[in-house]
Chains A and B, each alone.
Chain A
Amino acid sequence: MNIVVCIKQVPDSTEVRIDPETNTLIREGVASIINPFDMYAIEEAIRLKERFGGKTTVITMGPPQADDALREALSMGIDEAVHLSDRAFAGSDTWATSLILSRAVKKIAQFDLLVCGKQASDGDTAQVGPGIAAHLNLPQATYVRRIDTVHLDTSPKIMVVERLVEEGYEILELQLPALITVVKEINEPRLPSLRGKMKARKEQIPVWTHKDLNLEEDKIGLNGSPTQVVKIFTPPAKQGGKILQGEPKDIVEELYKEIKDFL
């Protein structure tokens, strides 16, 4: 079973602090990590490979330093990595990003399954996964919390998944090749191994630009993106709330008075 995982490098939100004066994010010195949701995607790909054999490939689109994210995925046990890095990609919105990633997937050619995290922790859009599926015209299942069964001996190959929705979960049967996006519940990502780290350090990772992917410049970057960010601003700070103090009984009385209108 050949699997491709798309990942993104994001700032580590456990390290992100808010400047109390300006109420803005302090980005200085914040480490970059693999998007937490993508860790589940990587783990699931490795587990499927361990069960069914085949090859796993990880792709990321991002600046040169995103190389670290790819090497971390390799150290966990992913077989190969591809880095999409090009000035012409900068400013891509989810439409253009999913186009670029889908072209890279196409170039890799042989795959049964594409796995993405449900969303990136910085942008929070959850649009790129289904976007890639649409560009490649693949069947999709988003928010997958469990892979029930996989039949690789049938034609076409089939996979049954559980998809988390607001009130419970749906069971979907997908023909492969397909795309899934996964949620935290699906597994517990492993840590890298020493052997993996040693191997990852030496690995030659190909870097592809828009030319390698035959992408026209008016379809990517800011120019190819239907949406434009016109302003980024910090939301007004929440004013300090009211602190209720005293005996529990009095606190409850006071709280009740304050909240009864919302009930």
Chain B
Amino acid sequence: MLNYGFTEEQLMIKDLARKVSEEKIKPKSKEWDEKEEFPAEAIKALAQSDLFALCIPEAYGGMGGGLIELCIATEEVSRIDGGVAASYAASFLGMFPILLFGTEEQKKKYLPQIASGKSLTAFAITEPEAGSDASAVATTAKKDGPSYVINGLKHFITNGGDADIYTIIAATAKNKGPRGLSGFIVEKGDKGFDFGKKEEKLGIRASSTRELIFQDCKIPQDRLLGAREGLGFIATMKTFDQSRPGVASQAVGIAQGALELAVAYAHQRVQFGQKISSFQGIQWMLADMSTKVEAARSLVYSVARAVDRGDKDIAAASAQAKLFASDVAMEVTTQAVQIFGGYGYMKDYPVEKHMRDAKITQIYEGTNQIQKGIIALHLVREYGK
């Protein structure tokens, strides 16, 4: 790996995240994947090591730092288990709207419990009819005196059922389109808030994905994100700007893990009387894989640094990082399985899991086709005049 000029603290985070992943996640990774079980122990270990406190300012019980620290930790966790990483990163997805748009009271109330890892978080915008088209949200929130009443259904929600705090997007003014969307903070246990079925997934099976059901769910008005209606769409977009490099770092980690497995296997597997790593065909595959992983990582960390510097208009760069890294992850993990040959196709070896886990990174938080749309829009704006 290239030297990315990480600070001593960032190296400490990397080292710690690797330790947690190697010691607390790796031994149970296969079991969680097989049983499609929520990795409560892993979440606890990550919390005990303060890894949920990244990105959150010290004033709110966090460790400070920015997106790059989160990307470093996410990459390390993903290198071992993309599913655990999904749960971990999804909690930040639920946290960002509060950090970016929440009122001082909301930040004081929720951020410390998120930072300490006491409460896991989830973000909910997706609905059966509102996937890539976020503006089609049908869930409604109606003002009722000092409360809001929420009705509707969210689905494919990562950490759904296992999170304690949910940042959800609902329509407060249907006629206003995207401008009529607002953010709300809903807590597990709120009356009228329930969970639907748990999805069975191809990959990232350690993370849980459920439906959220709102039936006349009445919550006090101080749960309105930022105490202002109409922040929902912009909060979502800004959150995704922050979170896409996170998904990209998840993709880099999944690919890196698969690459390491492939190299180790190639160097041990003997065919025709020699290690297969001595065959040029394999060497070239490995060389291509590692080059692509490094290119993806460079892009991801560059974008994360841009975000941390406070650069404006990072939407396109953020989309590029997610698009490129996730495509690399899919390609590299597929090649890794190929190097393992028949063994790679079997569940006895961990490499096929990386391939299954990689696929979601091309899909969630905006499919790669949506990312291309964002990038193209930016191009037209910048050079199309």
A–B proximity contact (CB within 8 A): yes
B90 in the interface, Cβ–Cβ < 8 Å?
Answer: no
Q: Which residues of A contact B20 (CB under 8 A)?
A: 191
B45 lies within 8 A of chain A by Cβ = yes
Chain A: interface residue total (CB-CB under 8 A): 8
Which residues in A have their C-beta under 8 angstroms from that of B63? 194-195
Distance A191 CA – B24 CA, assembled complex (angstroms): 9
Residue pair A193, B49 in contact (C-beta under 8 Å): yes
Q: What does the 1/0 interface line of A161-203 toward B look like (CB < 8 Å)?
A: 0000000000000000000000000000011111101100000
Contact A198 B12 (CB under 8 A): yes
Tell me the complex Cα distance, A223–B19, Å: 42
Docked pose: A145 CA to B228 CA in angstroms:
57
The smallest C-beta distance from A59 to any residue of chain B, in angstroms, reads 24
- Are the CB atoms of B19 and A193 closer together than 8 Å? no
Q: How far is the CB of B48 from chain A (nearest CB, A)?
A: 6
Is the Cβ of A197 less than 8 Å from the Cβ of B12?
Answer: yes
Q: Which residue of A lies closest to B15 (CB)?
A: A197
Q: Closest Cβ of chain A: how far from B76's Cβ, in Å?
A: 13
On whether the beta carbons of B24 and A194 are closer than 8 Å, the reply is: no
Which residues on A sit within 8 Å (CB–CB) of B51?
Answer: 194
- At the interface, is chain B mostly helix, strand, loop or mixed? helix
Contacts of A198 in B (CB 8 A): 9, 12
- Is the Cβ of A191 less than 8 Å from the Cβ of B50? no
Q: Is the CB of B9 within 8 A of A192?
A: no
Provide the bound-state CA to CA distance between A112 and B53, in Å.
34
Once bound together, how far apart are the Cα atoms of A134 and B95, in whole Å?
55
CB of A74, distance to nearest CB on chain B (Å)? 14
Q: How far is the CA of A190 from the CA of B63 in the complex (A)?
A: 20
With CB as the reference atom, state the residue of chain B lying closest to A188: B24
In whole angstroms, what is the CA distance A197 to B23 when docked?
A: 17
A193 close to B9 (CB less than 8 A): no
Interface positions of B from 6 to 41, Cβ below 8 Å from A: 9, 12-13, 16, 19-20, 23-24
Report the minimal beta-carbon distance from B11 to chain A, rounded to whole angstroms.
Answer: 11
Contacts of B12 in A (CB 8 A): 194, 197-198
CB contacts (< 8 Å) of A192 on chain B: these are 16, 19, 49
Measured between alpha carbons, how far is A191 from B9 in the docked complex, in Å?
A: 17
CB A199 to nearest CB in B, in angstroms, measures 11
Q: Please, how many angstroms separate the alpha-carbon atoms of A192 and B16 in the complex? A: 8
Residues of A within 8 A of B48 (CB): 190-191, 193
Residues of B within 8 A of A193 (CB): 16, 48-50
A194 engages B13 (CB within 8 Å): yes
Complex: how many Å from CA A195 to CA B54? Answer: 11
- Which chain A residue shows the least CB distance to B69? A194
> Which residue in chain A gives the minimum CB-CB distance to B47?
A193
Distance (whole angstroms) from the CB of A157 to the closest CB of chain B: 29
Contacts of B13 in A (CB 8 A): 194
How far, in Å, is A29 (CB) from chain B's closest CB? Answer: 18
| Contact residues, B253-300 vs A (CB, 8 A) | none
Contacts of A190 in B (CB 8 A): 48
- Chain A residues, Cβ within 8 Å of B16: 191-194, 197
* A198, B13: Cα distance in complex, Å: 10
9 pairs, A vs B, C-beta closer than 8 Å: A191-B45, A191-B49, A192-B49, A193-B16, A193-B48, A194-B12, A194-B53, A195-B50, A197-B16
Closest 3 CB pairs of A and B: A194-B50, A193-B50, A193-B49
Other A-B pairs beyond A191-B48, A193-B16, 20, CB < 8 Å: A191-B16, A191-B19, A191-B20, A191-B23, A191-B49, A192-B16, A192-B19, A193-B49, A194-B12, A194-B13, A194-B16, A194-B49, A194-B50, A194-B53, A195-B50, A195-B53, A195-B63, A197-B12, A197-B16, A198-B12
What is the interface of chain B, defined by CB distance below 8 A to chain A?
9, 12-13, 16, 19-20, 23-24, 45, 48-51, 53, 63
